Amino acid sequence: MLGDEKMNNHEAITIAQKLVAESKSVLVGSNDEAGFPNIKAMFNLEHNGLKEFWFSTNTSSKRVAQFRNNSKASLYFVDFNNFCGLLLIGTMEVLQDDASRKRLWREGFEMYYPQGVDDPDYSVLKFTAIRGNIYHQLQNISFEL
């Protein structure tokens, strides 16, 4: 993008996809019992474009309780070097089925879940985006997914 050119939706989504692909971590937003936003950094493990994202977490975590109470969620990806940020708004599901757990299992997870893939304290979070907003080169573009 050059100086005065206006970014279109296609360009915005392309930039957003690149940002997601290059991000090792993502800020995940949930809401506590009083309705206040809570933010936590999580590993960017797996995604399907900009629509679906999967994370691993402890079943006993505060975040799982919050998502079970209120599935509204947000993700934020940031590239500080290029002043680029992507906000995704959607819902988060807590999954504990075998297929989801095996899908996301990575070598080294035993450190967090000592009983392995069947550890009752191992859950998968699945985020489904409904809309997004990207900030890049002094432009803000909102889009539906």
> If you average pLDDT over residues 47-61, what whole number do you get?
97
Give pLDDT, residue 4.
55
Output b/e per residue, 28-55; b: 16+ Cβ within 10 A: bbbbeeeeeeeeeebebbebeebeebbb
Instruction: For residue 129, give Cα distances in angstroms to 74, 103, 138.
Output: 8, 20, 24
Residue 2 has pLDDT above 60, yes or no: no
Three-state SS annotation for 18-74: HHHHHCCEEEEEEECCCCCEEEEEEECCEEECCCEEEEEEECCCHHHHHHHHCCEEE
Closest CA to 140 of 4, 9, 3, 2: 9
The reported pTM is: 0.93
Give pLDDT, residue 78.
97
Distance in angstroms (rounded) separating the CA atoms of residues 4 and 111: 50
Q: Which helix H or strand E contains 117, and what residues bound it?
A: none
Which domains are assigned to the chain? Answer: 9-144 (2.30.110.10)
> If you average pLDDT over residues 96-113, what whole number do you get?
96
